[in-house]
């Protein structure tokens, strides 16, 4: 028995025991030394693994932060960009339901922002730049597209490809991820081009194609028949299925014939994404293509376009709320891609609400002439007056936020925005003429008194709001603004209430 003082601490007790063992049994001491060395190596390996896990966790957290930041930027772009307005069947937008999946072209109807109806207009987003022409159609690129390329390229190069094709260089993954993201945008353009081609074959004018935060958008006139609406709606998903099938076949063939695993994996991924998104956008809810297909079929069966629009819009509202709910529940369970799904649901819900409002407003405008909607007589200002005199003598009497101008012969010459007039510096108001701060007549919307209001709204250009000068010959007889449109809708609603 080893004699030890009870007051000795643990370290001294262990040291005393080792000295006694070394004297009594040298072999046991050698075995213990070997075990200590092994334990030390194992501990070093465990520490190394912990360090690797910590680094991986930090990288994953950084990626999550990046995705959240990009989603926030994209959501900001959606909120701050002008949404589709009241023009029916005016545009088809492709949606991105997942960071690695893009949606296919879907018609997006007009939005009536809170506070009254805004004019129907072509969608020219803030921050989009014209990049050329595609099939003779102007092609525009929104500032969020480079962010999407980075996001898709990172997701493909850092997660999807390493999991499917391991043991490749980081450079190969990076280049392949970027190439895959660009090919995905190319397939989106193919989808939008299919919508444009189908529309042109049915005599529907196509104004532009825009790539933006949630995919693509094709500006076009509204179909005049249910058959044309069906063809335009279904052409996008069919194009995506064709691209998906071709990419899948090319990827499988490339892998079998050449053994180029990384390019083959990119093509297979591209094909799978296009096929999944074609099916996603065939869901029977506006503004997805499936909602447009159902809307066209209901329109053809019942002959009531407004009823078909309301039904498709209601289904879009339900789908939007479901996507938002599923997205946030996924985020709560740690699936961060659910944030993207919630963004998509938010957009779908906004557009569906707008379409439902449009479907309610369209019957009120149908058959109404410009003369029935305009405000008349209208206050006008001579275009040679100075800003100071215009403010003192004319602006105080006007009832609108814009003021028509007339020349020496009494003919309309332009339209003056009062907000722009107020921004003229005080020192310039005595010498500056109002025509120098007004919008010239050719850049404004005009119509004749007997023109149908629905057709006039259809032809409006973007960026000027509902400000339509009604001209009879060369004489200004009235003006139509958003307030006039709102008054017509309210009267129609009152008549509907009285008839029930």
Token pair 């390229």: residue? 153
CA 152 centroid distance within chain: 16
Q: Contact, 97 vs 277, CB < 8 A?
A: yes
Q: Is the bond preceding 287 in cis, omega lying within 30 degrees of 0?
A: yes
368, HSE (Cβ side, Cα atoms, 13 Å): 22
Q: How far apart are CA 476 and CA 305, in angstroms?
A: 35
Helix (H) or strand (E) holding 209: strand 206-212
- The Cβ-side half-sphere exposure at 499, using a 13 Å CA radius, reads 6
Active-site pick, 16, 18, 122, 192: 192
Is position 309 annotated as part of the catalytic site?
no
Q: For the stretch 75-98, what's the b/e string if a residue is b when 16 or more beta carbons lie within 10 angstroms of its beta carbon?
A: bebbeebebbbbbbbbbbbbbbbb
Q: How many CB atoms lie within 10 A of CB 3?
A: 6
Instruction: Spell out the alpha helix ranges (H) of 259-335.
Output: 261-280, 289-302, 305-332
User: Largest alpha-carbon pair distance within the chain?
Assistant: 126
Contact between 110 and 127 (Cβ < 8 Å): no
Q: Cα(129)–Cα(140) distance, rounded to whole angstroms?
A: 5
Q: What strand order describes the sheet that includes 381-382?
A: 381-382, 402-406, 412-417, 439-440
Known catalytic residues are 192
């Amino acid at each position: 028995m080893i004699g030890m003082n009870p007051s000795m601490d643990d370290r001294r007790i262990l040291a005393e025991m080792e000295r006694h063992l070394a004297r009594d049994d040298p072999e046991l001491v050698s075995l213990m030394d070997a075990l200590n060395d092994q334990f030390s190596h194992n501990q070093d390996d465990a520490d190394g693994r912990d360090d690797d896990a910590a680094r991986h966790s930090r990288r994953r957290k950084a990626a999550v932060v990046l995705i959240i930041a990009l989603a926030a930027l994209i959501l900001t772009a959606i909120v701050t960009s002008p949404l589709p307005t009241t023009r029916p069947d005016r545009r088809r937008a492709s949606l991105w339901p997942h960071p690695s999946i893009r949606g296919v072209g879907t018609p997006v109807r007009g939005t009536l922002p809170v506070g009254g109806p805004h004019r129907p207009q072509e969608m020219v987003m803030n921050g989009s730049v014209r990049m050329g022409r595609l099939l003779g159609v102007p092609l525009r690129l929104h500032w969020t597209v480079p962010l999407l390329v980075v996001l898709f390229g990172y997701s493909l190069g850092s997660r999807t490809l390493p999991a499917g094709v391991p043991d490749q260089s980081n450079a190969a993954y990076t280049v392949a991820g970027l190439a895959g993201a660009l090919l995905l945008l190319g397939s989106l353009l193919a989808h939008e081009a299919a919508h444009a081609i189908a529309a042109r074959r049915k005599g529907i004018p196509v104004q532009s194609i825009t790539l933006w935060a949630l995919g693509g958008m094709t500006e076009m006139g509204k179909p005049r028949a249910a058959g044309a609406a069906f063809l335009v709606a279904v052409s996008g998903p069919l194009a995506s299925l064709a691209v998906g099938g071709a990419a899948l076949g090319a990827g499988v063939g490339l892998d079998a014939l050449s053994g180029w695993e990384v390019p083959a994996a990119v093509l297979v991924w591209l094909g799978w994404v296009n096929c999944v998104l074609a099916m996603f956008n065939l869901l029977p809810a506006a503004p997805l293509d499936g909602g447009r297909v159902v809307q066209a079929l209901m329109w053809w069966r019942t002959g009531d376009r407004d009823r078909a629009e309301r039904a498709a819009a209601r289904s879009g509202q339900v789908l939007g709320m479901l996507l938002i709910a599923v997205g946030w529940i996924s985020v709560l369970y740690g699936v961060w891609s659910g944030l993207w799904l919630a963004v998509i649901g938010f957009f779908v819900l906004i557009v569906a609400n707008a379409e439902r409002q449009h479907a309610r407003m369209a019957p009120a405008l149908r058959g109404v002439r410009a003369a029935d909607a305009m405000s008349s007589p209208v206050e006008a200002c001579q275009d040679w007056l100075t800003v100071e005199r215009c403010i003192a003598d004319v602006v105080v009497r006007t009832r609108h936020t814009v003021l028509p101008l007339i020349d020496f012969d009494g003919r309309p010459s332009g339209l003056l925005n009062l907000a722009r007039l107020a921004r003229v510096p005080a020192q310039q108001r005595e010498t500056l003429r109002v025509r120098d701060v007004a919008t010239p007549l050719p850049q404004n919307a005009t119509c004749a008194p007997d023109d149908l209001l629905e057709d006039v709204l259809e032809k409006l250009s973007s960026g000027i709001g509902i400000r339509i000068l009604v001209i009879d010959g060369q004489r200004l007889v009235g003006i139509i603004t958003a307030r006039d449109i709102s008054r017509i809708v309210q009267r129609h609603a009152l008549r509907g209430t009285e008839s029930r």
